[in-house]
Chain A
Amino acid sequence: TQLLEQSPQFLSIQEGENLTVYCNSSSVFSSLQWYRQEPGEGPVLLVTVVTGGEVKKLKRLTFQFGDARKDSSLHITAAQPGDTGLYLCAGLGTSYGKLTFGQGTILTVHP
């Protein structure tokens, strides 16, 4: 069974601060996806990282895939209240193609 551990579970910060969310596993994934979910809505795909060591930027969000493709991080620079939400990482297994979700990080950015 492939598990994805996300940390921290909860993050409460002030507007303008930086933060990093981690997604770790002992398993290798062929790719890793990050989703953001707002209250009352379904998760929305933010990015997919595929290559070990890959870094992708989406405005103030920076996503990194670990060299060994077992972990990933999401860094947000100068967080804004609009960044508030549940952030989920999901890893795609190498053999079957099964998608495994982490437990999520609830981010609250206070104005």
Chain B
Amino acid sequence: DSGVTQTPKHLITATGQRVTLRCSPRSGDLSVYWYQQSLDQGLQFLIQYYNGEERAKGNILERFSAQQFPDLHSELNLSSLELGDSALYFCASSVDLGLAGGHGELFFGEGSRLTVL
């Protein structure tokens, strides 16, 4: 158990719909990351938050958005869903940013499997 909690574990929806994925980081971790994993694309970095502020953006589509709340949990919103959005979405947390001597090791949740029909 990594201490990172993601809900829901599985989600099936239709094209054009909107879903929200939720993540609770490990206790004490200020940084939250979102990744998308599909068979042909590997683990793709979407976005990172640190203590409520957006820190870095990766290959995140404009139809996707995220936020980190004051209690440090995070949500990833996916809208106007397309078939190609079907993937595993992982949240990870870390205690530091990999700066000032830290190594930014990530602790991953078990993922949310999104299927768009």
A residues within 8 Å of B by Cβ? Answer: 30-31, 33, 35, 40-45, 48, 50, 88, 90, 92-93, 96-99, 101-104
Contact = CB atoms under 8 A, between A and B. Distances in A.
Interface of B: 2, 4, 42-43, 45, 56, 90, 92, 97-99, 102-111
A33 B43 CA distance: 14
Residue from the set A40, A44, A45, A96 with the largest chain B CB neighbour count within 10 Å: A45
Contacts of A102: 42
Residue from the set B90, B98, B99 with the largest chain A CB neighbour count within 10 Å: B98
Nearest to B97: A97
Residue from the set A40, A42, A103 with the largest chain B CB neighbour count within 10 Å: A42
Query: What is the interface of chain B mostly: helix, strand, loop, or mixed?
Result: loop
B43 A42 contact: no
A93 B2 CA distance: 24
A106 to B, nearest CB: 10
Contacts of A88: 43
